[in-house]
Amino acid sequence: MLTEALLVSAPGKVILHGEHAVVYGKVALAEALDLRTFLQIKPHKDGKVSLRLPNLGTKRDWDVSKLQLLHTAFLDSGEPTAPVPEQVEKLKVFAGFPMDSSDSECLAVLAFLYLYLFICRKQRHLPGLDIVVWSELPTGAGLGSSAAYSVCLAAALLTFCEEIPSHLSEGAASARWTEEELSVINRWAFLGEKLIHGNPSGVDNSISTWGRALRFQGGNISPLQRIPILRILLTNTRVPRSTKALVAGVKDKLVKFPEIMKALLASMDAISQECERVLGAMVAAPAPEQYLVLEELIDMNQHHLNAIGVGHASLDRLCRVTASHGLHSKLTGAGGGGCGFTLLRPGLEQSVVEAAKQALTDCGFECWETTVGAPGVSLHAASSLKANVLQALAGP
């Protein structure tokens, strides 16, 4: 077991193209978002396990002795495959949550307890830990915040318990794990996602683990080996939506208008594949006109997403506002509100970006200027992190 503090981070994600169409076997492209979740883990010498989640206003402490009793009653000798209802109920009772609770705080605490108990089960005694997790990602906005949280937890606990090594050498700013070790992190993170979401696709935790970009089709996830880093504006309309209801609405339209919807879904698939081709070409031989193609694809796909019924007035407004500044936007994720992104081509004057950000803020939206194609889960030296991250992890 390690005796020093560890700092870990993992990215959120955006869907470039393929939302909803992916449900019907079409290609979706996801990229890692350079808005990250950060976790600090260090030994707790007073026989306690402490979990702080400042984004949620959560602070929980448990005696290791009580966790040890739960550990004995909770675990069997087999490898975990997915949280079962009986385990979730035991965790809720232990943590003092009502049986019908499913808010963000409850799910985050349960995911931590589940991963802590299982990952640390090979230790002679459960370790006392102090963990704080802070995120640049908004929760519930379709940007993979829960996956980044699960990936950070899995990576930190596995490394702390020396199930996988720390590759951070003295003097280095950051480090990553090997492909095999990343696969181990991803498997555990997927279990955390299962506890939070029930039946996740695995896309979010995979992009948070490996970073860069992934191609998803028919349940198969594969990395895009070479991609350019793209600048974007990311906008949260703050309009809540039900992913389940939006998916059901698309299915209803497919039943009602099968030939029209099949053509739309096939066209969305072609957009994803063309985007994949252009991204590959941009790495080999970058040219300004490639950004014009990406902008056209963004516009076409946004119209398609409106046609299949997952648009929203807030997203239409986002697209109009950015179009008035010569920029191109589409929704990302489930639609019906939530988030959209705007491509920022190279050479764009910063005054244009700032004007667009101000106009979006004036609409009541939340806006970030960031990039996609970021690295996946990573270890960090404290000296390499920004002051605001260190301050958030240090707490009051």
pLDDT digit string (tens) for 335-392? 999 999 999 999 999 999 999 999 999 999 999 999 999 999 999 998 888 888 888 8
What sign does the CA torsion over 222, 228, 229, 234 have? negative
What's the rounded mean pLDDT across residues 306-315? Answer: 97
Residue 3 phi, psi (nearest 5): -115, 0
The domains of the chain are located at: 6-224+377-394, 230-372
- Give the range with max mean pLDDT: 82-91, 92-101, 278-287, 362-371: 362-371
The chain-wide mean pLDDT, for the chain, equals 92
Please check the confidence at residue 219 and state whether its pLDDT lies above 90. no
Q: Which amino acid is at 254?
A: L
Lowest-confidence pick of 5-19, 324-338, 374-388 = 374-388
Name the band, by pLDDT with cuts 50, 70 and 90, for residue 83: confident
Please check the confidence at residue 3 and state whether its pLDDT lies above 70. no
Query: What was the pLDDT predicted at 75?
Result: 66
Residue 40 CA, distance from chain mean position: 18
Share of the chain above pLDDT 90, in %: 73
| Segment (H or E) for 311 | none
Please check the confidence at residue 89 and state whether its pLDDT lies above 60. yes
Name the band, by pLDDT with cuts 50, 70 and 90, for residue 24: very high
Q: Give the whole-angstrom CA distance, residue 308 versus residue 302.
A: 10
What's the rounded mean pLDDT across residues 171-200? Answer: 92
Q: Give the whole-angstrom CA distance, residue 226 versus residue 228.
A: 7
Nearest to 43 by CA among 120, 136, 115, 109: 120
308, 261 Cβ separation under 8 angstroms: yes
Share of the chain above pLDDT 70, in %: 97
Nearest to 1 by CA among 43, 39, 40: 43
Query: What was the pLDDT predicted at 227?
Result: 86
pLDDT digit string (tens) for 201-215? 888 999 999 999 999
Residue 368 CA, distance from chain mean position: 16
Q: Is 378 a catalytic residue?
A: no
**Which CATH superfamily does the domain covering 230-372 fall into?**
GHMP kinase, C-terminal domain (3.30.70.890)
Query: What was the pLDDT predicted at 54?
Result: 94
Query: What was the pLDDT predicted at 73?
Result: 67
Nearest to 177 by CA among 194, 155, 192, 195: 155
Catalytic residue among 204, 208, 272, 329: 204
Q: Domain 6-224+377-394 classified CATH 3.40.50.300?
A: no
pLDDT digit string (tens) for 123-147? 878 899 999 999 999 887 889 999 9
Name the band, by pLDDT with cuts 50, 70 and 90, for residue 1: low
Q: Is 63 a catalytic residue?
A: no
Predicted TM-score (pTM) of the model is 0.91
Q: What is the largest CA-CA distance in the chain?
A: 65
Catalytic residue among 135, 146, 272, 314: 146
Name the band, by pLDDT with cuts 50, 70 and 90, for residue 393: confident
| Segment (H or E) for 230 | strand 230-236
Two tokens, residue 69: 């009793």
Nearest to 301 by CA among 100, 1, 11, 26: 26
Query: What was the pLDDT predicted at 295?
Result: 98
Tokens 């994600």 — which residue?
13
Please check the confidence at residue 286 and state whether its pLDDT lies above 90. no
